[in-house]
Amino acid sequence: MTVVKRTSSNGFLANSLNFFYSAAEEMGLEEGLTEILSRSERKLSMSIPVEMDDGTVRVFDGFRVQHSTALGPSKGGVRFHPNVCLDECEALGMMMTWKCSLAGIPYGGGKGGVCCEPLELSKKEKEKICRTWAARVEPLVGAWTDVPAPDVNTGGPEMVWFMDTISKMRNRLEPAIFTGKPIPLWGSKGRTAATGYGVATCGLELFKALDKKVEGASVSIQGFGNVGTYAALTFIDAGCKVVGISDITGTYYHKDGLDIKKAVDHVQNVHPKHLLEGFVQDGMEKLELNDVLYLDVDLFIPAALEGVVTKDNADKIKAKFIVEAANGPITSDGDAILASRGVVIVPDFLANAGGVIGSYFEWAQDLGGYFWTEEEYNERLIRIMKENFQRVWTYGKEKGVPMRKAAFMVAIERVAEAHRMRGIFL
Ligand code: NAD
């Protein structure tokens, strides 16, 4: 038997499959398991009819993909965006399987979404979309089957509408089906900072693994939103110099280190749209939007968008190390150029797993009906992030492969082992 390789006209799904096949080949994964894991267990497409505020009816396309439940309930967000389609959900669901597996948490992977432009929707229209989406997936979701969460353009309010709809349909409260809920409605303390803390923890572990002094090490961060902010605060607490930060208003650079606490205060409390625009500091330079990518630093953190480092600009990157906070910030051809120059890259699904580990903590608290302190949450998060980093680092050294491939191999092996133990029925 030879593996019949799937491909897709959707670039994201094609890329995810390529990464999977390449790691599966490197580790000598059985052909049958390669076939199984290159496909999704379930893919649901749905129509979502909505009576809009002006009385007209629009029908939106919605989706939920369960890529794998070998290790536990499928876990992954629900995205509201005009580009959402079944293939994109499948690619993202597959990445969630590897992310949860690598994180060592008891979940498989899934993803969902609705093809819509949230900026054009009123709150009432969004609520109707959420309630119909939840009703359509009701037979498939559950604390032990499929546990959705926020993703691009969804957050606490959407999770509450989902949870409320399912709870009413089942005539019992179902808090553990959705994570990312507000704290008063069975959400968890500590979630806001989790991804940024986790990203910075990976950066600090990398310095340790390479015997590089943390005190005074220089860091630049693209994107100063939720993830970038908490990563920056953690780096300065550890003694690093954050010399460059950026958001959609440009790059802010100070060779001796920026006053990060002041920048955070500016974004959170001063600027009406929570931007860096207008932030000033003595000796600081304001540079162009993309200059943050090319600063001469020890560590660069892309924490904004996907595909920012490509074959066209990888040569201009001066950082020696990169920790990927955003999902997919480096394209595969950009990755190859950086690897040939010896740049060490901590891959996204290892570095930004703090978010899904936080979801796991919320789920565990909801199932037990007993809530942790923020200190307990952070202590457990940091411990898991450090262990995961060490596992991938050691495996990569043993096998002589870069961290990205090592991470895929560790992640795939854990799912494969679950399949070997459970058998291939369903
Ligand atoms: P966010 O919306 O809070 O912040 C994004 C930041 O990026 C903003 O400061 C924005 O101004 C900036 N930005 C956007 N376009 C830019 C550009 N062209 N140049 C420079 N800056 C730009 O988002 P976030 O929650 O911090 O997420 C950032 C990335 O991390 C995303 O790729 C997201 O998918 C990923 N991620 C987030 C989480 C999480 O828990 N928030 C978990 C896993 C992965």
List the residue whose alpha carbon is closest to atom 31 of ligand 1. 326
* pLDDT over threshold 70, residue 1: no
Amino acid code (one letter) for 355:
G
Last residue of a domain, one of 336, 351, 366: 351
Last residue of a domain, one of 351, 368, 403: 351
Output the average pLDDT for the chain: 96
- Beta-carbon contacts of 241 under 8 Å, excluding residues fewer than 6 positions away, are 216, 217, 218, 219, 256, 257
| Model confidence pTM above 0.85 | yes
User: Are 57 and 167 within one domain?
Assistant: yes
Please give the number of the atom of ligand 1 that sits closest to the Cα of 247. 21
Q: Residue 241: give the domain boundaries.
A: 193-351
Ligand 1 centroid – CA 326 distance (Å): 6
User: Are 230 and 113 within one domain?
Assistant: no
User: Are 164 and 213 within one domain?
Assistant: no
* pLDDT over threshold 70, residue 62: yes
Residue 113 covered by a domain: yes
User: Are 216 and 328 within one domain?
Assistant: yes
User: Are 326 and 237 within one domain?
Assistant: yes
Between strands 285-287 and 250-253, the pairing is antiparallel
User: Are 128 and 207 within one domain?
Assistant: no
Instruction: List the CATH number of the domain containing 66.
Output: 3.40.50.10860
User: Are 167 and 199 within one domain?
Assistant: no
Domain tally for the chain?
2
Residue 1 covered by a domain: no
Instruction: List the CATH number of the domain containing 199.
Output: 3.40.50.720
User: Are 136 and 203 within one domain?
Assistant: no
Q: If you average pLDDT over each of 8-17, 48-57, 415-424, which comes out highest? A: 48-57
User: Are 63 and 161 within one domain?
Assistant: yes
User: Are 329 and 211 within one domain?
Assistant: yes
> Which residue among 111, 126, 181, 189 is the active-site one?
111
Say whether 212 is catalytic: no
Ligand 1 centroid – CA 179 distance (Å): 19
Q: pLDDT band at 426, cuts 50/70/90?
A: low
Any residues with Cβ below 6 Å from ligand 1, and which? 195, 222-228, 246-248, 289, 303-305, 325-327, 352, 355
For residues 61 and 48, is the Cβ–Cβ distance under 8 A? yes
Q: pLDDT band at 3, cuts 50/70/90?
A: confident
Q: pLDDT band at 425, cuts 50/70/90?
A: confident
Give the tens place of pLDDT for each residue, 123-150: 999 999 999 999 999 999 999 999 999 9
Give the tens place of pLDDT for each residue, 326-385: 988 998 889 999 999 999 999 999 999 999 999 999 999 999 999 999 999 999 999 999
Instruction: Identify the pLDDT of residue 29.
Output: 96
- Beta-carbon contacts of 177 under 8 Å, excluding residues fewer than 6 positions away, are 141, 142, 143, 147, 148, 162, 163, 166
